[in-house]
Amino acid sequence: MATDAAPHSAKRSRSEMEEAATSTDDDDNDFGPALSSSAPKWKRHKLPCEKLYLAALRISTHYSKSLMHKDQLYFTAFTPYTDFLITASVDGVVKFWKKMVGDVEFVKEFRAHNGEIKSISVSADGRSFATAGADNTFKTFDVIIFDLLAILHV
C-alpha cells in the first residue's frame, strides 16, 4: 500500500498545506476583528506660534542639548580652591559646572531630592557639597569626583 506520507511523520506536505489553505470549511474569525476603515487619521499637533518659535531658534550645524535647569533656579554656590559652580533648582536637581577661563563647562547632573531643595552648603576646602531637601533627606557629594557620598534620613 503506497501513501504520500509516512503515518508517523508530523510534517505535512506542500500539497496538503495548500489544500488546507483553500478549503472552504475554515472559519473567517481566526484572525480577530477587522479594523474599522473609519478610524481617525493621526494629526500632527501644531503650536499656535510654531513659525515664530522655529524662526527664533539659533541656526547651527550641530544639535546641542539644553543644559539649563527645567525649573526655577534656587541656589548657586562657588567652591573655593576647586573652581566649581554648583546650581540647585526647585525640582531637586543639582548640577555641577567647572569654571574655566572666560567660560563654564557642564560636568554632571544629579536628581538629588524627590522634592524641593531647602538648603545647600559647600565645605571650606571646596571638596564637599551638601543639600537638604523637603523629602527629609540630607545628601553629601564629593565635588572632585562628582559622586554621592552619603544619604542621611531625618
Report, as an integer, the average pLDDT of 22-33: 58
Considering the domain boundaries, does residue 83 fall inside one?
A: yes
For 128, the domain range is: 73-153
Chain Cα centroid distance, residue 135: 23
Residue 34 has pLDDT above 90, yes or no: no
Decide: residue 126, CB within 10 A, 0-12 exposed, 13-18 middle, 19+ buried: middle
Considering the domain boundaries, does residue 52 fall inside one?
A: no
Kindly state the percentage of the chain with pLDDT values over 90: 30
- Number of domains the chain is built from: 1
pTM for the whole structure: 0.55
Report, as an integer, the average pLDDT of 26-39: 59
The larger pLDDT score, comparing residue 40 to residue 29, is at: 40
Considering the domain boundaries, does residue 22 fall inside one?
A: no
The larger pLDDT score, comparing residue 149 to residue 17, is at: 149
Q: Which CATH number characterizes residue 86's domain?
A: 2.40.10.480
Considering the domain boundaries, does residue 37 fall inside one?
A: no
Chain Cα centroid distance, residue 143: 25
Considering the domain boundaries, does residue 124 fall inside one?
A: yes
Look at residue 149 and give its three-state secondary structure.
strand
Considering the domain boundaries, does residue 65 fall inside one?
A: no
Considering the domain boundaries, does residue 88 fall inside one?
A: yes
Considering the domain boundaries, does residue 62 fall inside one?
A: no
pLDDT value of position 70: 82
How far apart are the C-alpha atoms of 79 and 34, rounded to whole Å?
Answer: 65
pLDDT value of position 41: 66
The larger pLDDT score, comparing residue 84 to residue 70, is at: 84
